[in-house]
A and B are shown apart, each in its own frame.
Chain A
Amino acid sequence: MLFNRSVPIYKTLKPQSDAFRHIVIINYDKTNWLKYSRIFRAQKKVTILIFQNTKDFGDLCESFCNEDIEIRLHAALESLLEDVVMILNNSRIGDYYYLSGDESFMWNIVDIAQKYGIEDEFINLSKYGNKKNVYCSHCHAINICDDCNILNCNTCGSKLLVRKHFSRSLGAYLGVFSHDMQR
């Protein structure tokens, strides 16, 4: 399950022993990368997509990549998402998806994965970083903010209060006109 009521559930990434393939999609962070590289090193049929190019990646790959583990680096989000779609097009029942990054990053990918029929139980989410999507209830725009409670909508300029309710279909928290909450 990815939710408990309207609150997303995040876990520590843990490889599923019965997975057919492991697809790891991470928004790069050095600490997390070291952790995940240790976790998935012993697994077979692993594809890791990393967003954000890094200088020290070469060294890591040399010690990490082998015939069972493939790493693909993406400096642009668009290119990562194209790669995700390519993987989803060939996805089989039994493939597990492990996503790690901030909420904005992960829910973007969850949205695409679900359009390809990936069930919740094949998706594992591990959150780090504070960026989140906020849905403007007035103009319907999605804003990205850094662990905010109040923000001004980038599209209509409304002052939004960020509620705890998370919409799985939008991959965003609900932002309501802050005056609505004061009435």
Chain B
Amino acid sequence: METIEVRVSEVSQPAENIKTFKLKPIRLIRLPMFSPGSHIIVKINLKGKELYRAYSLINDPWNTDYYEIAVLKKENSSGGSKYMHEAVMDGDELHISYPVNSFMINKKANKHILIAGGIGITPFSSYLHYFVRYEYNYELYYSFKSPGKGVFHDAFMRELKNYFYYISGDNVHIDVLDVLVNQPSGTHVYVCGPQSLIDNVIKTTTFLKWPEHNVHYEKFDFIPQGRYFHFHLEKTNKSGNVPSDKTLLEVLEEMDINIPYGCRVGACGLCATNVLSGEIEHNDIFLNESQKTSQNIILPCVSRSKDKIVLDL
């Protein structure tokens, strides 16, 4: 992975279990431009093991003097978020990827509805800078567990006009049907949060006959851990094992089998690889249902096998 060297210049904790990190370039004058919804991949060296974690950029895309990311410390974290919270300090050096965007704004839409659950608010932070600057027609629906867990909530209350929040700990949830019914033609909805929220939005838009391409989603709670499995590469006649805390892509890279990739979160499809045999456990949001059912293509950045798999590599 081609990386940019950055220095952590400011770490703060705006909400319970959430830390934000400002990353300034070490060798570059400015960091590369990015579009709203972009994320970067942070390379983490954890006890000699390399891990890659994707985090949305939350700062204003017009200011690339630094990047800013927000990281939720997951309760069951065995690597990335725990490391970011406990080990990364001001002044530390990190290696990050160039920005990647698999969750773009549709600029032809005449209205944008953003639905976020928990840390799923992060990609919308850069969206909102854009929407406010260009006076886009938008509404933001943000659900979080308790008042202390809503990162950006105070700023949204001060700065946004069409902001609606829901405290799920008080049993107040987003009524997705109520939000989406009777929306004007040309409305696009974007959802980021737990799978249940994404499923709810997909189910509702299907029921309301929304066009599929007006519905955008990004999964943030992907946990790369899974079952250990074995793989064989048919063309190069190599084999390997994927331990439970690594992805197939990471293991292939360790073996110097470099395949193209983009987002590393199962959204862009660049790493799609043909499968000759074996049962696939799909964890991506890129392949459609028939591609998943066919069991002959895998996104090794997130998907796994149930036991053994033979790849066309």
Contact = CB atoms under 8 A, between A and B. Distances in A.
B260 interface: no
Contact of A95 (B109, B185, B187): B185
A122 B211 CA distance: 9
Interface string A117-134: 111011000000000000
A81 interface: no
A117 B183 contact: no
Contacts of B209: 18, 20, 93-94
Contact of A94 (B109, B111, B208): B208
A121 B211 CA distance: 8
Interface string B186-217: 11000000000000000000001111011000
A119 B110 CA distance: 11
By size class, the interface of chain A is 10 to 19
Given A92-B185, A93-B183, A93-B185, A117 B210 contact: no
A178 interface: no
* A interface, over-half SS: loop
A116 interface: yes
A148 B208 CA distance: 43
Nearest to A91: B185
Interface in B289-313: none
A91 B184 contact: yes
B186 A117 contact: yes
Nearest to A113: B185
B78 interface: no
Interface string B207-237: 0111101100000000000000000000000
Contacts of A94: 208-209
B183 A118 contact: no
B171 interface: no
B211 A88 contact: no
A94 B182 CA distance: 9
Interface in A1-35: 18, 20
B108 interface: yes
A122 B209 CA distance: 11
A88 B184 CA distance: 9
A93 B110 contact: no
Interface in B90-142: 108-111
A48 B25 CA distance: 60
Given A93-B187, A93-B214, A119-B213, 16 more contacts: A18-B209, A20-B209, A90-B184, A92-B185, A93-B183, A93-B184, A93-B210, A95-B185, A116-B110, A117-B108, A117-B110, A117-B185, A117-B187, A119-B214, A121-B211, A122-B185
Interface of B: 108-111, 182-187, 208-211, 213-214
